[in-house]
Amino acid sequence: MKSLLKIVCLILITIGILPKEAKAASFIDIADDTLMTEIDYLVEQDIIKGYSKTLFKPNENVTKAQVAVMLTRALGLNTINVENPNFQDVTTAHKYYKEIAAVENKGIFDSADKFNPDSMITRGQMAIVLQRAFQLKGTDSYYFSDVTEQTPGYKEILALAHNHLVRGYEDGSFQPNKPVTRAHFSAFLARAMTLARPNLLKDPTFVYTYAYYSLNDHKRYTLNYQYHHHDGKNDVWTVQNLSSAQTFPNELLYGHDRIYGQAIADKANTHYDLYLELPLRIGVMLHEDDPGVSSGVRVTVKTTNGTVQAGDVQYSGVIILEEKSIYSDVVKTYYFVDEIGLVKELHNDIVVYELLNRTMK
């Protein structure tokens, strides 16, 4: 009996350590690491697969049929007893008939006599189907040098840009007629699937108590954060050390429907310590090559629906951000919860801030 139990345990342990699926990090042909978060996500969700455990073929163009399959999986569309769209070139015997019928019934692709399943999809067409699939809203003054009101998919392209799903090329173009590669479509789809519009500000009706570890003096403190006033731009939070009544510099939080920023008051005249454009989605939001005061910094959204333990609370729906700088070896990881704000912060593997509790004023 003991021998049998040992065998069972060994099998369970072996299953536990085996990789569930090939991830982007194991694909040897992905050179652009800025898209790895999104590709990882789609692989984990069983929406896309590699050609093997080590090959993803990121630069291969996607076809309309492949897009139909991925959208069907991403949206969880019903493929049982689907209505036949009667495409001349997609019979019921077609390998992807059910998926093509499902997206057509959903109104994601335009009705036509033919579907052209093996044709490549362009970046402009990609914008149209993603806008329809995920009902993306919003347009603003953001523009691309080669996108005008006469461009097919004009409004849809601007909707994707408004929601930070696309950034365009370094020369300011979008290249709407260029075919979409597997890597790029994976990135756009994963971003659309994880789009989030959280409120990252602290709630001013609460007093926040954090455990704080100072990397300067290597001491631990218990800090109280209390909303004091709005200075015309920022929420000003006073910070007090509960053990010694020592007052720390105020925290400044900037909130806007499109921007979040946080800073220490005595440094706010130069820049925010963390600055984000909203809404959020997984992947690189801020690249180290971007110009401006944040140049040299990369901010990556690792997930918009994670979990974390802070104090005695297990939080779900957590926004997890990773910040790296070319000027430092420190990797900062931030954990935010919608309508609560920061609940945890790590510098490398060291927990610097951890929310212990919140109490009503």
State pLDDT tens for residues 258-317: 999 999 988 656 688 999 999 999 999 999 998 877 789 999 999 999 999 999 999 999
pLDDT confidence bin for 1, thresholds 50/70/90? very low
Amino acid letter, residue 104: E
Give the Cα separation of 283 and 37 in Å (integer). 5
Q: In this predicted structure, what is the pLDDT of residue 269?
A: 61
Query: Span 313-323, mean pLDDT?
Result: 98
Distance linking the first and last C-alpha atoms of the chain: 60
Query: Span 16-20, mean pLDDT?
Result: 37
Tell me how long the chain is. 361
Backbone angles phi, psi at 59, to 5 degrees: -95, 0
Question: Quick check: 13 pLDDT over 60?
Answer: no
**pLDDT, the chain, mean:** 90
The predicted-structure confidence for 198-235, as pLDDT tens digits, reads as follows 999 999 999 999 999 999 889 999 999 999 999 999 99
High-pLDDT (> 90) share of the chain, %: 78
Task: Using a cut of 0.75, tell me whether the model's pTM lies above it.
Answer: yes
Backbone angles phi, psi at 192, to 5 degrees: -65, -40
Per-residue tokens: 80: 């049982």
Q: In this predicted structure, what is the pLDDT of residue 22?
A: 54
Q: In this predicted structure, what is the pLDDT of residue 290?
A: 87
CA 283 to chain centre: 5
**Radius of gyration of the chain measured on its C-alpha atoms:** 24
Question: Quick check: 12 pLDDT over 80?
Answer: no
Q: Which residues contact 284 (CB under 8 A, 6 or more apart)?
A: 34, 37, 298, 299, 300
Q: In this predicted structure, what is the pLDDT of residue 2?
A: 41
Q: In this predicted structure, what is the pLDDT of residue 7?
A: 39
The predicted-structure confidence for 108-152, as pLDDT tens digits, reads as follows 998 899 999 999 999 999 999 999 999 999 887 778 999 999 999
Query: Span 334-361, mean pLDDT?
Result: 97
Q: In this predicted structure, what is the pLDDT of residue 270?
A: 62
Q: In this predicted structure, what is the pLDDT of residue 223?
A: 96
Beta bridge partners of 318: 306, 337
